[in-house]
Amino acid sequence: METELSLEHKPYLLMNGLKEIAHEFTGDENIFLGIKPYGFHAGNRIPFVAYPILLCEELEKNGKQARFNFFVFINDWEQTRFDPEKTNWKEFPFNVIPQFTTFQFSKDEAHDVDYWEKVICSAVHEVKERFPNVSIKCVRNSSMRDLPIMKEVVLKTIKNPDLLGDIMNNLGFPLHKNFPYTYCNPICPKCTSARTVAAIIKDEDISLTCSDCGHQGVYGYHDLYYWLYHKILALPRIKYFDIDLCISGLDHYKEKDFDSRYALYDAYGIKMKPTHILYTPALHGANGLQMGKSRNNCANIETEQLLQLIKKNPNTYEICIEE
């Protein structure tokens, strides 16, 4: 890490990080887990099931009782895919623009939010089967639309995409100024496209032009739904649910998720209590490749087997499934 970190602002990594947190926490904290409603493979099971179980185990070894509140955020406001013609992942990973719509409005069967919410939440429920005093609550982004903190973040992001753009630029991810980049668009009320061009008028009215169907109109904040980029989407959730700990995959850490998170709190002027972030290892399949939906490399493994794998490799960044 290039950035200097103060003691209370440091990332917690792998099982060493987990042990430190278990030592520090009382067992009553609020814990953040977030995912797109699209698939759930063994790689997801590490941050969503295995690490929560290991955290509860470790806490109880220290003589405390696990009564954590786990919030499982179902990101139905994320894009189903980015526009490949307007994105250049390798050079400009933060010049993003959605191609179609969000999970909330996708009609593709593979993106069925109800279905995936059930799959994901019932998987996390295994933590409660082992530690009955914890609570598990699933929350869709769309259900948070009318909260004042969500409204504040959406309006600020539409008004000024450079709040995030400048942070990523300063962290060494250049932005291509000739490529479009926005981090929040209202969804077109006529065709549900997320490819809209919007501006804030009169404090909170939103004028919108759809790049797909050409529809134009002016709407109140509460009359629309939104596409919101995941880095920014984290803020209202952490603030509203008074989150103490986020559990997240290491790929986010490589994207400087840790540094950008704290810079975003400042840029958005949101007062946050110190939030811990615990990063979990990546899982590689028996073929040696990292698991992922976008990589088309998915497998399912029982939790017990995953727990054994993690205990055998407690501080390894990449855990491999054994044949």
Residues that bind Zn ion (CB under 5 A): 188, 190-191, 193, 210, 212-213, 215
Helices assigned H by DSSP within the chain:
14-24, 42-45, 51-61, 113-130, 148-159, 162-170, 230-240, 250-254, 257-268, 303-312
Task: Please identify, using beta-carbon distances, which residue of 192 and 303 lies nearer to Zn ion.
Answer: 192
Q: How far is the CB of 197 from Zn ion (least distance, A)?
A: 11
Q: How far is the CB of 232 from Zn ion (least distance, A)?
A: 23
Strand partners, 208: 198, 217
Q: How far is the CB of 204 from Zn ion (least distance, A)?
A: 21
Task: Please identify, using beta-carbon distances, which residue of 149 and 213 lies nearer to Zn ion.
Answer: 213
Task: Please identify, using beta-carbon distances, which residue of 186 and 236 lies nearer to Zn ion.
Answer: 186
Report the DSSP pairing between strands 30-35 and 135-140. Answer: unpaired
Task: Please identify, using beta-carbon distances, which residue of 126 and 212 lies nearer to Zn ion.
Answer: 212
Task: Please identify, using beta-carbon distances, which residue of 167 and 184 lies nearer to Zn ion.
Answer: 184
Q: How far is the CB of 101 from Zn ion (least distance, A)?
A: 10
CB within 8 Å of 323: residues ≥ 6 apart: 286
Task: Please identify, using beta-carbon distances, which residue of 210 and 306 lies nearer to Zn ion.
Answer: 210
Q: How far is the CB of 213 from Zn ion (least distance, A)?
A: 3
Report the DSSP pairing between strands 205-210 and 196-201. Answer: antiparallel
Q: How far is the CB of 222 from Zn ion (least distance, A)?
A: 19
Q: How far is the CB of 214 from Zn ion (least distance, A)?
A: 7
Task: Please identify, using beta-carbon distances, which residue of 48 and 227 lies nearer to Zn ion.
Answer: 227
Spatial contact of 134 and 56, defined as CB atoms under 8 Å apart = yes
Closest by CA position to 160, among listed 264, 80, 8, 12: 264
Residues in the chain: 323
Supply the DSSP symbol for 160: -
CB within 8 Å of 182: residues ≥ 6 apart: 97, 158, 161
DSSP per-residue codes, 36-77: -SS---HHHHIIIIIHHHHHHHHHHHTT-----EEEEEE-TT
